[in-house]
Structure 1
Amino acid sequence: MSETKWDPVKYNQVADFVAKLGEPLLNLLTPKLSDSILDVGCGDGSLTEKIKPLCQHVLGIDASAEMVLAAKAKGLNASVKDANDLDFNEQFDGVFSNAALHWMTTPKAVISGIYRALKPRGRFVAEFGGFGNAGKIVDALTTCLEREGIVYQNPWYFPTAEAYSYLLVQQGFELEHIELFDRFTPLPAHLSEWLTAFCQAFFTNVDVIQKKHIIGEVTNLLKPDLLVNGQWHVDYVRLRVKAIKP
């Protein structure tokens, strides 16, 4: 699990679009009023809040205590829990996750825990970073870090559809839908703020001054590709999946 620290207020300033773009995923979940739903990586509960009136019970979990506090402030049932070590047993009709699973670098453990958490015929619906996600950013960032001789940690897991399908089927899931697609996304702020919020793990061995310098270099490298009509974008690639527990 990434050691990235989250500030709910700053997160929404930089990436309020994440929850908005995840709303269509609810149509794939199709919650029923009798359902119990688990939201894995719920963050501040923006989508958990959308699920709540559609089912009998929803629980949001997140590894960030700060995000869980923000979710609870919205009147949601949420708890701090590492999705790599889920201990639920056939308690949920559906497991939902948006923009979170790519932070969990032991996917077999996560999928196993989700499988156990579901009741028979329960559904797992998720969207997260897939193969090639933010590829231009990752390339520019690692190029600049390596040029400076800096040792870094890539905190992300961006699988292909084929690789993730294999893990799901291996665990016992029936795969109903999976797709990998591009989502070139405009940012509400400067790219440097996105880098500061989401790329903390890359800068573990970097002091404040050097970090600022590297971020400046990265943004200069990315201007031709990601600055469009004065607005910064991220070259997101998303993996969307729906699987059923037999």
Structure 2
Amino acid sequence: MTSQTWNAENYRQHAGFVAVLGSPLLDLLGPVDGQDILDLGCGDGVLTEQIQARGARVVGADGSPEMVAATMAKGIPAEVADGHALPFERRFDAVFSNAALHWMTRPDDVLRSVARALRPGGRFVAEMGGAGNVAAEIVALHVAAAEFGLDARALHPWYFPSPAEQKDRLEAAGFTVRSIDLIPRPTPLPTGMLNWLRTFAGPWTEHLPADRREPFLERVEGMLAPALRDGRGHWTADYVRLRFEAVLV
């Protein structure tokens, strides 16, 4: 069993770019004035706040109590919830999700849960990691896991589907897909790869003794340097995003 622990302040410092790069998803969501919107995987509420500012009645949902607290501190209703089994039924005009679905490794359960939360004709607008996302990082994590005596396959915490796979799953859950695109997006890491790993690689390090965690991350960073660090020491993650809009039939 793997888990990821989130710290709102660390996330803001080392992964604040996630919300910034998610802004085009707000355009895909479109006008929301007077609508009921669920932000699934709301994180610290940066995009949730923007949805609210556009006139929506928005609710945030996240598996992390700390992230929910950070969202609520912005004056936004939010609750701790598991995306695989959301506690809502026919409540929302749209479900919005940025950079969260790839952490939910039972995708069919998630899509059925989202469908239950939507009213008929409701929209599901989301962006997540897609096929090929952080490919170099995954390889390095698997290699380091083997070196440190970990079972990499058991620890792997992400689901990065292709457009065809996600489209099939959406249709099976009762959605009509309006658009679905795989978007290569090399992403500069303002605070470096080691801080990216500290922020996102918790499922890999939680099974190591405390004094072995930093050496593990440093080993991963060292393997990635030839591919992802330029001559000036700047790091770029090999992000590939899957963005879609679907409508509940």
Fold shared by both chains (TM-score > 0.5): yes
Matched, 1:215 2:223: no
The answer on whether the counterparts of 1:62 and 1:82 sit within 8 Å (CA) in structure 2 is yes
SS at match of 2:44: coil
Matched, 1:157 2:162: no
TM superposition shift of 1:34: 2.1
Report the counterpart of residue 64 of structure 1 in structure 2: 64
After superposition, the C-alpha distances for 1:105-136 in whole angstroms (9 at most, x for unaligned) are 11111100111111111110000111111110
The answer on whether the counterparts of 1:2 and 1:104 sit within 8 Å (CA) in structure 2 is no
TM superposition shift of 1:233: 1.4
Amino acid at match of 1:78: A
Amino acid at match of 1:87: P
Matched, 1:74 2:77: no
Report the counterpart of residue 242 of structure 2 in structure 1: 239
SS at match of 2:84: helix
Q: Unmatched 5+ residue regions in structure 1?
A: none
What percent identity do the matched residue pairs reach? Answer: 43
d(CA) in 2 for partners of 1:56, 1:176: 22
TM-score, structure 1 as length reference:
0.96
SS at match of 1:84: coil
The size of the alignment, in residue pairs, is: 246
TM-score, structure 2 as length reference:
0.95
TM superposition shift of 1:35: 0.8
The answer on whether the counterparts of 1:182 and 1:236 sit within 8 Å (CA) in structure 2 is yes
RMSD: 1.3
d(CA) in 2 for partners of 1:151, 1:208: 18
Greater Cα offset, 188-197 or 167-176: 188-197
d(CA) in 2 for partners of 1:57, 1:20: 22
Q: Unmatched 5+ residue regions in structure 2?
A: none
Report the counterpart of residue 86 of structure 1 in structure 2: 86
After superposition, the C-alpha distances for 1:75-100 in whole angstroms (9 at most, x for unaligned) are 11111111111132211111000000
Report the counterpart of residue 179 of structure 1 in structure 2: 181
TM superposition shift of 1:231: 0.9
d(CA) in 1 for partners of 2:64, 2:223: 32
TM superposition shift of 1:31: 3.0
